[in-house]
Structure 1
Amino acid sequence: MWAQVINAILGIWLMAASSVLGYTNDKTIADNEHIVGPVVAAFAIISWWEATRTVRLYNAPLGLWLLLAPWILGYENSLATGNSMLVGALILGLSFVKGKIEESYGGGWSSLWKSDTLHEQEARRTPRTDIEK
């Protein structure tokens, strides 16, 4: 979870970076960061819970976009280019940190064709006292 907390902070940083670093006059850079930042933060926050942990992977393409954006959008500010590259690399790398999994939920679609599913194992362990004889 620590990696996703950092990704959320990086998303918030992207929203403020153009004002803090002083390149608000370049609307292309500022708009890009104002769009990508909240999306990164939202995906990171959603992935804090175990059941939605895989949402962290949605930040990988956004991190890759931040790495490529200076060349695709033609950034002329070297400070903005460095910020985009650094934040993009961090978001991309931290997106692949899984985190600790404490419980298993459901089993997904594969549980439909497995012969010994989690709920069958639980049913064998728990004695049934509610069945009339």
Structure 2
Amino acid sequence: MRIHSHTLTAHKADILAVMSRPAALDLYTLGCGLFLIGAPWLFGFAHTAGRVDAELVGAAVIALSIAGLVAFADWEEWLKVALGVWLIAAPWLLGFVHSSAMHVSIAIGIAVMFLSLLELWLAHDPDFADTTTT
């Protein structure tokens, strides 16, 4: 079977298009997820609900960030936005307000939401897309 050079050129163009998107933002959310998993030990979370929430949501953020690094999809960014909203609301819903777990949860929730919404905006912004393909 013979592979034509135009097929390889098209394949290279597809790879470059995927790599030119704002993948660094997925790396930042991956870092947020790793921080969230380590936060119960770093800050000594006293509330079990805060600890378990940080570990589970951190693992989910890590999984979605890795999925975003492999192949960008809107759905994984929207799920990270939802996890960010959850992290902001969790201290009141799970009962660990006025604790170090609350502060970490809210801060990481805001960061994950911001980074995910920024990635969605950059992925769909025609001005950004025009500057990366030239």
What is the percentage of aligned positions where both structures have the same residue?
25
Q: Which residue matches 1:37?
A: 58
Post-superposition CA distance 1:17-56 (Å, at most 9, x none): 0011111x4211111111100100110111114x433222
For residues 116 and 49 of structure 2, what CA distance do their matches in structure 1 show?
25
Q: Which residue matches 2:93?
A: 72
Matched, 1:4 2:26: yes
User: How many Å apart are 1:2 and its aligned residue?
Assistant: 1.3
Give aligned pairs, total.
101
Name the Cα RMSD after superposition. Answer: 1.9
Q: Which residue matches 1:16?
A: 38
1:88 to 91, 99, 109: 109
Q: Which has the higher contact order (CA 8 A, sep 6+)?
A: 2
The 1:27–1:37 alpha-carbon spacing in structure 2 relative to 1, beyond 3 Å, is: same
The 1:76–1:58 alpha-carbon spacing in structure 2 relative to 1, beyond 3 Å, is: closer
For residues 27 and 81 of structure 1, what CA distance do their matches in structure 2 show?
12
Query: Which structure's residues are more often helix, by fraction?
Result: 2
User: How many Å apart are 1:4 and its aligned residue?
Assistant: 0.9
Q: Which residue matches 1:53?
A: 73
From the CA coordinates, give the structure whose radius of gyration is larger: 1
**Which stretches in structure 2 are left out of the alignment for 5+ residues?**
1-22, 124-128
For residues 94 and 36 of structure 2, what CA distance do their matches in structure 1 show?
16
User: How many Å apart are 1:68 and its aligned residue?
Assistant: 0.2
**Which stretches in structure 1 are left out of the alignment for 5+ residues?**
104-133
Amino acid at match of 1:35: L
TM normalised by structure 1 equals 0.68
TM normalised by structure 2 equals 0.68
User: Does the 8 A contact of 2:26 with 2:65 survive in 1?
Assistant: yes
